[in-house]
Amino acid sequence: MKALKPCLSLLAVVVAAGSLAGCSATSAKAPSVADSIRTSLDKAGYKDVSVAQDVDKGVVTLGGHVAADTDKSQALSIATTFAGSEVVSNEIAVIPAGSGSDAKDMNSDLDKGVASNLDAALIDARLHDNVKYAVKNHVVTLTGNVDSEQARDRAQLVASTVPNVEQVVNELQVKSQKATSSN
């Protein structure tokens, strides 16, 4: 019986350590906040704003459209309230009432210009081979793998200095870091 007690004690320690390891592995992911944001946006009348969350990357993306810059800011404020440590990527298009396709065309042309200028800036900074990007409604999302934290920070700085960029969402990976935002 005395020989059994140390074995049971060791087993208890192993089980406890395994339980803690399991908890820490699952807590690395961000909790889902998309439903709370969606409910609050609906209550505020922003039914044309979409919400998507990538819990692995730590990013909540707002999309869709609103009629004014103040609406875009208000939707961002609502999302930020619930996002916690998540980065909120504000890709909402501002399409004033009655402007329809003209505003969409202007946003598209601006995004193409941002992409061209960003491409040139990344080539100049010697980051073009490892840094990929997407531009949507003046928001640049950086993706890919870089060798160091300095390269990650430099890519974000380069992107943030491109004219007409409103936000840079940095999803570049250096080991297992999460996304960051420039605002």
In the chain, where the domains are located: 31-97, 99-183
Which pLDDT tens digit goes with each residue over 114-166? 999 999 999 999 999 999 999 999 999 999 999 999 999 999 999 999 999 99
Specify the pLDDT at position 102. Answer: 86
User: Which residue did the predictor score with more confidence, 182 or 4?
Assistant: 182
Q: Please, which pLDDT band fits residue 178 given cuts at 50, 70 and 90?
A: low
Residue % of the chain over a pLDDT of 70? 80
The answer to whether the CB of 50 falls within 8 A of the CB of 79 is no
pLDDT reading at 175 higher than 70 = no
The answer to whether the CB of 152 falls within 8 A of the CB of 170 is yes
Instruction: Determine the Cα–Cα distance for residues 154 and 119; give it in Å rounded to an integer.
Output: 14
The answer to whether the CB of 149 falls within 8 A of the CB of 98 is no
Q: Please, which pLDDT band fits residue 81 given cuts at 50, 70 and 90?
A: very high
pLDDT reading at 13 higher than 80 = no
Fold topology of 99-183? Histidine-containing Protein; Chain: A; (3.30.1340)
Helix residue spans in the chain (DSSP H): 4-27, 34-43, 69-83, 100-124, 149-160
Lowest mean pLDDT among 14-28, 67-81, 115-129, 134-148: 14-28
Question: What mean pLDDT comes out for the span 1-12?
Answer: 44
Specify the pLDDT at position 164. Answer: 96
Tell me the CATH architecture of domain 31-97.
2-Layer Sandwich (3.30)
Handedness of CA 28, 143, 156, 112 (dihedral sign): negative
**How is residue 92 written in tokens?**
């909402």
Instruction: Decide whether 31-97 matches 99-183 in CATH topology.
Output: yes
